[in-house]
Amino acid sequence: MMLLTEKEVELYHQNGYCLYNKQVFSKDQMAKLNAIFEEHLAQKGDKLSDELDKPHWRDPRLLELLLSDQVLDLVEPLIGPNIGLWTSHFICKDPFTGRATPWHEDSAYWKGKIQSYEKIVTVWLAMDRSTMENGCMRVLPGTHRNGFSEYEDVDRKFNTFGSQIKNVDESNAVYFELEPGECSLHDSRIIHGAKANTSPYRRCGYTMRYFSTELKVLEDRPLWLARGKDIAGNKYVN
């Protein structure tokens, strides 16, 4: 069952993103996801709340959601029927102290890790209400077709990454405001980021990233065959 219309798919390929303003998971599934996140948050130690990367490597309970039809039916119209799970990440910006996410392209951090950067999509699921006030994601439409940008260093104390794209024109930025349980989907090559959370409201999301199995993954890391068949000869956990 494909959950996106032909027009939405067309706009995704044109702009590099789309918003899905419907509930992705059931209430029970969202309750389970929130409970898992709270466990990871309690166990994080000295890590900041925005540093809970690859939690499914440590907690296989998340695979029930990551490999579910609800998500894969959103992903398939965008990258095709043969889908691999690349990674996931809890991104939590705490009230008043949540760091900014500098302008970046996800693909810029994967040089040498995957054969190509096309047909990789990130599903950003809102666990809290995500608004301009608490630092929701923002993107520059159409920039997924521009190739890699030039970067400069930034202070990690105030930013989730140590670098940002130089000389960004923010005038056309689109802000992804989402209710809990809704999601956005974006191409790995699009320029995106988020302002710091200076509000009293937490902004937590769960990113779920998928790739077409036409792409060869060049680094040794756990991968899951989520749907269809392998094309490029990757190794999978399942």
Q: From its phi and psi, is residue 230 left (phi > 0), alpha (psi between -120 and 50) or beta?
A: beta
In tens, the pLDDT along 14-64 reads 999 999 999 999 999 999 999 999 999 888 776 666 668 899 999 999 999
Which residues, other chains included, contact 154 with Cβ-Cβ below 8 Å and sequence gap of 6+? 102, 161, 162, 163, 164
**By CB neighbour count within 10 A (0-12 exposed, 13-18 middle, 19+ buried), where does 90 fall?**
buried
22, with CB counted inside 10 A (0-12, 13-18, 19+), is exposed
| CB 190, CB 146: distance < 8 Å | no
Task: Measure the CA–CA gap between 213 and 84, rounded to whole angstroms.
Answer: 6
> Please, what is the Cα angle at 120 between 37 and 8, to 5 degrees?
90
Q: Token match 């996106």: residue?
A: 4
Instruction: Dump pLDDT digits (tens) for 122-145.
Output: 999 999 999 999 999 999 999 999
pLDDT tens, residue by residue, 146-162: 988 999 999 998 998 89
Decide which of 2.40.50.100, 2.60.120.620, 3.20.20.70, 3.40.190.10 is the CATH code for 6-227.
2.60.120.620
- The residue type at 49: S
Q: How confident is the model at residue 112 (pLDDT cuts 50, 70, 90)?
A: confident
The pLDDT assigned to 238 comes to 66
pLDDT band, residue 208 (cuts 50/70/90): very high
Please give the pLDDT value at position 109.
Answer: 85
> DSSP secondary-structure letter at 166?
S
Q: Which two tokens stand for residue 203?
A: 């902004």
Does the pLDDT at position 110 exceed 80? yes
**pTM for this one?**
0.95
Average pLDDT over residues 180-184: 98
What is the separation of C-alpha 170 from the centre of its chain, rounded to a whole number of angstroms? 21
Alpha-carbon distance of 45 to 109, in angstroms, equals 26
DSSP string, 51-104: -EE-HHHH-GGGHHHHT-HHHHHHHHHHH-S-EEEEEEEEEEE-TTTBPBEEEE
- Cα 83 to Cα 6, 23, 230, 232, distances in angstroms: 19, 22, 8, 11
Q: Are 49 and 92 in contact (CB under 8 A)?
A: yes
